Structure 1
Amino acid sequence: MASRKSPARKALNHLPQALTDSSADKRLDVLRQVAAGCSISQAAREVGISYKAAWQAIDTLSNLSGQPLVERTVGGVGGGGARITPHGEQLLALADALAQARQQVLARFSQGVQRASGFGLRTSMRNQLPCRVARCEPASPHDPMVWVQLQTPGGAALTASLTRESADLLGLAPGLEVLVLCKATAVSVAAAPRAAPMAAVEAGAQRCSLQGRVERVAKGADRDEVVLALDGGGHWVGFAPHPFSARVGARARASMPYAALVVGLPG
């Protein structure tokens, strides 16, 4: 006979899912401000994000945990009040315990490599590359999107398109180390012209590209999977129509839409 778990126990089991997102830290800051008695508008000011981004933070954490973490109250000053739920308090307690345990582990391995590696983040995205934010600017004064200019370890340039709220929640600013992810299925690979630059923005196409040398080719019926070794370190995976003409060791270019790039904070 299958055992039945109480609703409270089920909720507790789902809470850790809200902490697997690499951008959760600033979202947790919003929740901590609400727990301290702040309204959502006050919490947004304290964390340094917009009111809309603050509610997005709460909604995202609630979706990940599977339980409401904040109750809205009517008539609050500055856009309505808010009150943390018992599930929200449990999530904060869990986050604090995990942070303390993580610090203890890192202290024991303080001589190890502590660079952006995506440790703790499990995803189907094949392409994961540590980068540094070079610039973050609005697409236009009233556009909800921002352009994030990124620099790869090899000095190549990438451009990602994000919402303003996402950029605020991540705290994106020049010099910040981030992890750039991209689904391999969104990447098109082609043999690179000899005179082509190492990386480029494709004018008018809303696409950017990276160059490297072909390391592996897995042939398919209609398309081939191509693995590029990037200049300066790292790999990038994409697909090319079968048969792919470039040989192993030859230069090739991986091209992808701005919107296909996902920016995250290292765990």
Structure 2
Amino acid sequence: MVLSKFANKSFFTRLISGIVLVALILVTIIPGGNILFFFNMFLSVAALYELYKVLGLENKLPGITGYIALIVYYALIYIGKEDYVITLLVVFLICLLAEYVFMFPKYKTEEISNAIMCMLYGGILLSYIYLVRNGENGTYLVWLIFLCSWASDTCAYVAGVAFGKHKMAPVLSPKKSVEGAVGGVVGAAALGAIYAAVFSDKINLSINPVIACAIICAIGALISMIGDLAASAIKRNHDIKDYGKLIPGHGGIMDRFDSVIYVAPIIWILIQLF
């Protein structure tokens, strides 16, 4: 029974894809710099495309405007002009409203709203992987993003299987339990504390790194669940199983990075506070 499960073709596909994905993350995040910048930009554009495709905007003018705005956003980060990001978002909004008005009634209000939401959600939020890595202590603190999302998800799964009795979101994700969520938060906090203890001499924060990273990971793990459920809600609203097929066995970028999207900016904010 167990052997047949591991011999399943889909299992091997998922395993190999997972290994390749982890390898890509390691070879881009460890050196950082341009290689991470362009990899992160690719992830953002791919995630934005997947969201636009679900909403039917991938080839429409508001969607194309969103792609352009996202690329300009990354260009501003690359040349160190982050102060102009708010200006970019204002111009992006004005362009979308101009398309809405001058091409009325071709585009509906919902399409314009979705174009904005997806660019912020799938595009900009993911860029915080690079921003965290590029910041102070980023070489070490960037890994908290993945401890809060992927590692905490494993802790939540184990706790849910062992103790799960109360459904957390029965409609969106019937298998998730309150007990699993608690296990994910506690597990993430413990992993964050252990990680900080190992690299305490490399992490410079205003309070004890072990305490800070435990708090950051606990909050991040909680936020990661919202990211996971938010992505699931969009899929259920549009009756789709996966956002894409870019990562065999896993789906698309949005399927694999749904929690990371939410966690990355939260980690960046919390680091500023500590």
Q: TM-score, normalised by structure 1?
A: 0.21
> Which structure has greater helix proportion?
2
> Which structure has greater strand proportion?
1
Larger Rg: 1
